[in-house]
């Protein structure tokens, strides 16, 4: 099976799918029409489709001609609340919603891979499952599929992201830490009202909150091992009613980005202890709430990483593999990797000659579409190689 050639043959189809999806974006958890479109495409290929009560997205299953393991390929399908800049013939027709991250590309590429694999299913030594996942931009929504049994019987999972910082023709599939967790904390500081001319009669929640913001930076700078990347950011500070009144309540909302799983697990208690003691020093009290978002994404299965690297080389040629530094952005593909072995990587599409240089989440975001058929090829090649190796 010459997957590289087969992928090239799907180029027009994959671009057509991408244009439709790009023009009809939907926000996370609301991808109703997107799911309908994907389902129609898969059913036209003769692929059985599974949907789930209460959530969007779906799974297609391709049963191979021979028994074997089961590998899952994942694409995310949601868009972003961004107004797209005009100029494309396939611009979003939904005001204020845009595929500005490339999820339309992932979906189209996986549909292309579905065509390749379904047309040659007799040669497959096992089963390929195609998961089209909702709401990646929201957080841990991939967990909804896990709860509904989507990973039952699956032996490994593969995913990738088109990446604006990498040139067309390049790819990155590397071992170790790739993306950080994305956790959220909310802190409530409780003080006592008083007039600004008599601060001694109150307890200034704003002053205490300011001290808390500064103290939180002691966690990455003095408590965390400096060799382990850690970011603690307070992005929202809300409180006060008037310029001459001491606030009796302030809310702080922030995020934690970490790679060290053990250290991350202890963050709620560290934040609570520090915040409580600092607030107490200003005569205030504090409540803390911590939400664990997507886990750190760490490629720790060397066998799968090597399979992914070889799949990329077969599709893009020798020399395509490039180093991409780990990032403190997050990706809820990591939730799947909490349950089964997986590997995740990046596919470059940046093309300065064509002016395709915008970063993800930009209103003018676009890709060099010649990358799409290669993405389909890498998806399909990984699945075939994994099933062959495990046969």
Segment 36-41 mean pLDDT: 98
Rounded CA gap, 304 and 346, in Å? 15
Q: Which of 363, 305, 328, 360 is nearest to 163 (CA)?
A: 360
25 and 47 within one domain: yes
Per-residue pLDDT tens over the stretch 321-334: 999 999 999 999 99
Rounded CA gap, 72 and 216, in Å? 40
- The verdict on residue 75 lying in a domain is yes
- The verdict on residue 391 lying in a domain is no
| 229-262 exposure pattern, b = at least 16 Cβ within 10 A, e = fewer | bbebebeebebbeeeeebbbbbebebbbbbbbee
Q: What is the secondary structure of 251-313 as a DSSP string?
A: EEEEEEEES-HHHHHTHHHHHHHHHHHHHHHTT-EEEEEEE--SPPEEE--HHHHHHHHHHHH
Rounded CA gap, 92 and 86, in Å? 9
Per-residue pLDDT tens over the stretch 243-262: 999 999 999 999 999 999 99
What residue numbers does the annotated binding site cover?
A: 101, 103, 137, 161, 361
- The verdict on residue 320 lying in a domain is yes
CATH number at residue 270: 3.30.70.360
Burial of 209 (0-12, 13-18, 19+ CB in 10 A): buried
What residue numbers does the annotated binding site for Mn(2+) cover?
A: 101, 103, 137, 161, 361
Confidence category of residue 301, pLDDT binned at 50, 70, 90: very high
**Amino acid 306: pLDDT:** 98
**Amino acid 361: pLDDT:** 98
First-to-last CA distance in the chain?
A: 16
CA distances from 148 to 99, 142, 292 (A): 27, 10, 20
Which DSSP symbol is given to 27?
Answer: B
The β-bridge relationship of strands 194-195 and 125-133 is unpaired
161 and 47 within one domain: yes
- The verdict on residue 173 lying in a domain is yes
Of 256, 272, 289, the domain-final residue: 289
Q: Decide: 82 and 363 in contact? Cβ < 8 Å.
A: yes
Confidence category of residue 384, pLDDT binned at 50, 70, 90: very high
245 and 197 within one domain: yes
23: helix, coil or strand?
A: helix
- The verdict on residue 149 lying in a domain is yes
CATH number at residue 352: 3.40.630.10
Per-residue pLDDT tens over the stretch 186-201: 999 999 999 999 999 9
Confidence category of residue 161, pLDDT binned at 50, 70, 90: very high
Rounded CA gap, 56 and 29, in Å? 6
**Amino acid 99: pLDDT:** 98
Confidence category of residue 237, pLDDT binned at 50, 70, 90: very high
- The verdict on residue 224 lying in a domain is yes
244: helix, coil or strand?
A: coil
319 and 194 within one domain: no
Per-residue pLDDT tens over the stretch 283-299: 999 999 999 999 999 99
184 and 169 within one domain: no
**Amino acid 287: pLDDT:** 98
Of 289, 315, 350, the domain-final residue: 289
**Amino acid 356: pLDDT:** 97
Q: Decide: 128 and 117 in contact? Cβ < 8 Å.
A: yes
299 and 272 within one domain: no
- The verdict on residue 117 lying in a domain is yes
Q: Containing domain of residue 268, as a range?
A: 180-289
Of 270, 289, 308, the domain-final residue: 289
Per-residue pLDDT tens over the stretch 347-357: 999 999 999 99
Domains in the chain: how many in total?
A: 2
**Amino acid 143: pLDDT:** 98
Confidence category of residue 202, pLDDT binned at 50, 70, 90: very high
184 and 111 within one domain: no
66 and 18 within one domain: yes
260 and 207 within one domain: yes
- The verdict on residue 67 lying in a domain is yes
Q: Decide: 312 and 321 in contact? Cβ < 8 Å.
A: yes
170 and 60 within one domain: yes
138 and 32 within one domain: yes
Which DSSP symbol is given to 85?
Answer: P
Q: Which of 110, 90, 141 is nearest to 38 (CA)?
A: 110
Rounded CA gap, 96 and 130, in Å? 29
> How high is the mean pLDDT of the chain?
98
3 and 105 within one domain: yes
**Amino acid 55: pLDDT:** 98
**Percentage of residues in the chain with pLDDT exceeding 70?**
100
């Amino acid at each position: 099976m010459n997957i590289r050639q087969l992928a090239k043959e799907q180029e027009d189809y994959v671009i057509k799918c991408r244009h439709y999806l790009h023009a009809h974006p939907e926000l996370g958890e609301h991808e109703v029409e997107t799911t309908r479109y994907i389902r129609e495409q898969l059913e036209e290929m003769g692929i059985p489709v599974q949907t789930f009560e209460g959530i969007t997205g779906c799974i297609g299953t391709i049963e191979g001609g021979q028994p074997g393991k089961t590998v899952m390929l994942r694409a995310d399908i949601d868009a972003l609340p961004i107004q797209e800049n005009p100029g494309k013939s396939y611009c979003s027709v939904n005001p204020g919603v845009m595929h500005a991250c490339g999820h339309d590309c992932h979906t189209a590429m996986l549909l292309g891979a579905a065509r390749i694999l379904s047309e040659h299913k007799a040669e497959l030594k096992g089963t390929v499952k195609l998961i089209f996942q909702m709401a990646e931009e929201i957080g841990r929504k991939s967990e909804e599929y896990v709860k509904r049994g989507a990973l039952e019987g699956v032996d490994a999972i593969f995913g990738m992201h088109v990446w604006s910082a990498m040139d067309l023709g390049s790819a990155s599939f590397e071992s170790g830490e790739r993306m950080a967790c994305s956790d959220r904390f909310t802190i409530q500081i409780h003080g006592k009202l008083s007039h600004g001319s008599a601060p001694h009669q109150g307890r200034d929640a704003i002053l205490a909150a300011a001290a808390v913001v500064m103290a939180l930076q002691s966690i990455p700078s003095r408590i965390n091992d400096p060799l382990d990347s850690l970011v603690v950011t307070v992005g929202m500070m809300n409180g006060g009613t008037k310029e001459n009144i001491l606030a009796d309540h302030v809310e702080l909302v922030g995020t934690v980005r970490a790679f060290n799983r053990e250290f991350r697990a202890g963050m709620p208690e560290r934040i609570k202890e520090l915040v409580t003691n600092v607030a107490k020093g200003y005569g205030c009290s504090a409540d803390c709430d911590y939400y664990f978002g997507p886990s750190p994404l760490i490629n720790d299965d060397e066998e799968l990483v090597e399979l992914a690297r070889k799949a990329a080389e077969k599709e893009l040629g020798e020399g395509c593999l490039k180093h991409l530094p780990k990032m403190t952005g997050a990706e809820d593909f990591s939730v799947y990797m909490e349950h089964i072995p997986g590997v995740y990587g990046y596919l470059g599409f940046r093309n300065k000659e064509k002016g395709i240089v915008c970063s993800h989440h930009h209103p003018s975001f676009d890709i060099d579409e010649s990358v799409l058929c290669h993405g389909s090829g890498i998806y399909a090649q990984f699945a075939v190689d994994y099933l062959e190796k495990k046969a």
